Amino acid sequence: MLSREGGRMSLLEHFRELRRRVVRSAIAILLLSGAGWFFYPTIVNALAKPICNLDRAHISGLGHCGALYVNGVLGPLNLQVTVSFYVGLILSSPIWLYQLWAFVAPGLHSREKRYAFSFVAVATPFFAGGAYLGYLVLPLAVKALLGFTPSSINNLVRFDDYLNFVLRLILVFALAFELPVFLLALNIANILSGRAILKPWRFAIFGITFFTAAFSPTGDPLTMSILALPLIFLYFGAGGIALINDRRRSKKLRSRE
């Protein structure tokens, strides 16, 4: 990464820059986790719906919700802390995405700063779209996985394990949808050409498939396909846009000559 004066940054300066970016991101996540703590009941009710409607169970006076249960004295507290952290991570995505791009981008001259804000403006909707897709896939994934339970056996689900599974699923979808944004951002910053993006397309498809299989919290083919197919489409779309941008950049350079 280049320094502000156009020279090279030393290794120590890299670490200092990384530490500064990480600290800012951590503070943003911590502060916005307060929203997750405050709206915890509403968030938990929404996430638990694929298995049980907590509001309906409370109104009916059942005192419990199907197969869900919380274990241990610290279980409820750990549950609320975990949910709050994930909510803070999602809500603070514009901040830590900006910090990530500001660290990765070569230099921070005026043009790179403009790229950083443009990157955040595009990356945030993609992150939110991926998270929303993960939430839409959630009922299908839960139904598919619970369907493997034999009819003669009761499947008791720990609520903290269930919510960890749900939040991981949503987060994996959200992060995966940042792939085309990063590719285009690197192309606009003249770091990666469209040809370089699309040339290893076979390895890219394999990598996307491996990512969905390795990091998706579900093992069912349906969920992995729902994640992998849009990612492959977005990968080729980003490569195509990058090629168009490369041609535009080449024409602009030739016109100057």
The 10 Å Cβ neighbour count of residue 109 is 13
Query: Does residue 181 fall inside a structural domain?
Result: no
Query: Does residue 14 fall inside a structural domain?
Result: yes
Query: Does residue 52 fall inside a structural domain?
Result: yes
Which residues constitute the domain of residue 157? 1-109+149-167
Query: Does residue 188 fall inside a structural domain?
Result: no
Query: Does residue 80 fall inside a structural domain?
Result: yes
Residue 108's pLDDT is 47
Query: Does residue 89 fall inside a structural domain?
Result: yes
Residue 28's pLDDT is 93
Query: Does residue 244 fall inside a structural domain?
Result: no
d(CA 32, CA 26): 10
Residue 79's pLDDT is 84
Q: Which residues of the chain have pLDDT under 50?
A: 1-6, 108
In the chain, the number of structural domains is 1
d(CA 1, CA 243): 24
The 10 Å Cβ neighbour count of residue 51 is 20
Which tokens in the block code for residue 38?
């405050």
Query: Does residue 116 fall inside a structural domain?
Result: no
d(CA 233, CA 227): 11
Q: Quick check: 29 and 89 in contact, CB under 8 A?
A: yes
Residue 32's pLDDT is 92
pLDDT in tens, 214-254: 777 666 677 788 888 888 998 999 889 889 888 888 887 77
pLDDT in tens, 20-52: 889 999 999 999 999 989 998 888 888 887 776
Residue 1's pLDDT is 45
